[in-house]
Amino acid sequence: MSSVSISLTGESRRYDVLVGAGISADARGHQHGRDRVAVLADRRVTALHGPLLDGAPTLEVEAGESLKTMDGLGRALEFCAASGLSRRSLLIAYGGGTVGDLGGLAASLFKRGIDVLQVPTTLLAQVDASVGGKTAINLPSGKNLAGTFHQPAGVLCDTNLLVTLDDAELSSGLGEVIKTAIIGGDETLTLVERLTPQLLDRDPAALAEIVEACVRVKARVVLSDHEERGPRRVLNLGHTFAHAIEHAAGFGAVPHGVAVGVGLALAAHASERTLGAPGSLTERTVRLLDRAGLPCSLEALREAYGLAGQLTPAALRDGLNHDKKGQVGAPEFVLARGEGDVIMGLHLGEDLLSELLA
């Protein structure tokens, strides 16, 4: 079982992200030195792949944005208590991004902080959500508004788990892959363009190569800014629009990676208008989104998901007002001036916003 190890050093700890086929079996090794281990698991993942650790207390949950609520957090914390976890214990999050977000937040809060091991099971979670220590739940007012930074004890990206993803989940993950590739630069973007057909066929070697490439890009960014106070905010490329879409549609109505894909297309058009970005970058972005089976515009998204009544310009503008990066009434955007040349902290004029959100 070969794997690639990518090390991250946080302000308080060093941890490794391991990428490889079958690497989730390494979770057993993380039991050493622990007085107890418990697992928060996506019910669908355990049905497909079996329990992560035989005999460990396990709370199976229904994954999705509906999990990331105060009720969901309370249930996870009560599970930690019922499992008898101490500050020498380990909580393992075994599932996609929503399970990882909830598990990480619960671990950061229980007894003022216990260790969490992330075992992401979706492409989106492996390339993005599991790395960097961001945890959160949603509030009715907006996405990821309540959370902490809590670096994991480790991350196990088992590419075997990606083979069973359905087409929609795989495409959603590719939304974050494309975002990361634009941030990474021309070499990473070219790699994604070349491997997209193999990724859609779930080729194990291609999946491993892309997960490794994306994790390396994210690790490089995270290492410069652990708590998103500066350079790390480039990782929000396309996300201000995406979170507005999710807010307007209702959390869970549009998969996160799908919303990110439309957000990337909108950001590309905004980049042309405000930064003089080349049209070739917009063309590459839209072409990749289309090849990945993702909507490339708000119009296409409304039609694909039957959300014409929800994704109105007014509702989207209201969603932008809940942007957690910006100031009150002034959403902040991250745009790309070119491949690997990403600018953060930007504000867009009302006329341009009205045009983009139409």
* Residues with a known catalytic role: 112, 134, 176, 218, 228, 232, 236, 239, 243, 256
Q: How far apart are CA 201 and CA 185, in angstroms?
A: 25
Burial class (CB in 10 A: 0-12, 13-18, 19+), 51: middle
As a whole number of angstroms, the longest Cα–Cα distance in the chain is 59
Q: Write the CA distances from 175 to 75, 291, 338, integer angstroms.
A: 30, 11, 18
DSSP-based three-state secondary structure for 80: helix
256 HSE (CA, 13 A, CB side): 22
Q: How many CB atoms lie within 10 A of CB 59?
A: 19
Residue for token pair 């309540």: 146
Q: How far apart are CA 93 and CA 41, in angstroms?
A: 6
Q: How far apart are CA 230 and CA 44, in angstroms?
A: 37
